[in-house]
Structure 1
Amino acid sequence: MNSTTIITDTHTHLYSEEFAEDRNEMIQRAINAGVSRFFIPAIDSATTQAMYNLEQDFPENIFLMIGLHPTHVKENFEEELNHVTKELARRKFYGIGEIGIDLYWDKTTLDIQKAAFKTQIQLAKHYKLPIVIHCRDAFDEVFEVLESEKSTDLFGIFHCFSGTYEQALQAISYNMKLGIGGVVTFKNGKIDQFLKQIDLCHIVLETDSPYLAPVPFRGKRNESSYIVNVVAKLAEIYGLSEMEISAATTQNSKDVFGI
């Protein structure tokens, strides 16, 4: 890729403790690889300050979201949602995320996860922001909430999309782009088998660093520079150049985040 190629990582937890030893070097590696836009999802109030620090260190490259992650929806979720509401009133964010439903870790919190998801979708609509959805073992439940909130001002990204072709079409029907990362490089990832049937205008790139590293780094710590492996795989799937994939997916990210 040449120096004018801009790659966008629409989902990376650069504030993660896993980067404590080499965070700035790791971000610089990504910038050197052509990744110059990083969209940062929130987890809960405990991660807010670390996100602000990141933004201060790399103001040209870092774009923050705010939200309560479904695995962190606990008894105190209303308090956590108050934090989200207060921060939104106080400053600019580029999305509400990551939000959604996760039934892999805990099925007992489904009702409060749904409530938190709906509240945050409504906040996104109020602020005219995209949502970034986390969905694990919960496609039906997530689609049920999206159906109830369906409207022209509902839009965003289905993060780490790993569903079927039919589920991809359903996600797109709710104005969602599909966030494609390391999973597309896995032999058992399955999405590579139908992705070519999905128009590239519906695709954005992500790493979900430090999780879900692409092949050949699978099982190791992921980082944003590894997104070039995802670009290479998509170029192969779509029969396009890596530059075309980078340009199209960055444009798609601009359409979602407005920047």
Structure 2
Amino acid sequence: MSLHEALTAVRRPLLYVSSGVTLLLLVLPFAVVIPLAFSDAPYLTFPPPSYSLRWFSSLLRNTQWLDALSFSLKWAGLSAFLSVAIGVPAAFALVRYRFSARVPVYLLLISPLIVPHVVIAVSLFFALAGSSLIGNPLAFALSYTIIGAPYTVVVMIAGLKRFNRTLELAAASLGSSPLATLRTVTLPLLLPTLASAALFAFIVGFDDVVFGLFLSGPTATPLPMRMWDNIRLEISPQIAVIAVLFIVVLALLMLLRLFVAAVAQGPRAQESLHH
């Protein structure tokens, strides 16, 4: 048996084993956290001695947790909107136009993906130290946008490079203006890509704890920062409940993304049937 045949023979089993181990590492934390959220014990113990909803009920009565959750949802949502507002025009400019500073502009836009978040957080802290923005929710909107916009740029560039411009040319040949073509043809077809870009930007902001360490204040404490404080001061099953809520929120966002993709694919499928 040649070396190539031997490698081919072992490649598939190795692929199965590595895929199984990776899947196990991804699923195992969920298998631990979810039962802990329903534990009836006053402390974290696995497996739980009994199950109840006491910690969910306790969390719903805890205004600190609810305020932190509301804060993260609100400002991560705003940062996702701002990231899309910045990333979409930037991606269009980088893909559709040729100019001398294209590469430097692209590298500048994606630099927050390369620079460690702690470096950005420290720089932002000193930049805002002389103002009243430290401990202000607007500082979080700014910081989340800084780290979220690169994701929208990368996702939109990928979507635009795969985009078939035939329909745009057809609309232009029928007398449609560039703005009308963008509104009625391009953006509707790019809706799944837009949803993915917004989803990435939201998750990056919603899940961030680094900026919370530098920018938090009495009236501006995001949920990950509240979790960090809870883990440092006390470890109760409430932290597992929050983790489960994280999972639920992200699952709902993924379902929303799939729904948007299905809605966007509907007209295309009907059009292909007509042709």
Q: TM-score, normalised by structure 2?
A: 0.23
Higher RCO (CA < 8 A, seq sep 6+) = 2
Looking at secondary structure, tell me which structure has more helix per residue: 2
- Higher fraction of strand: 1
Answer with 1 or 2: which has the greater Rg: 2
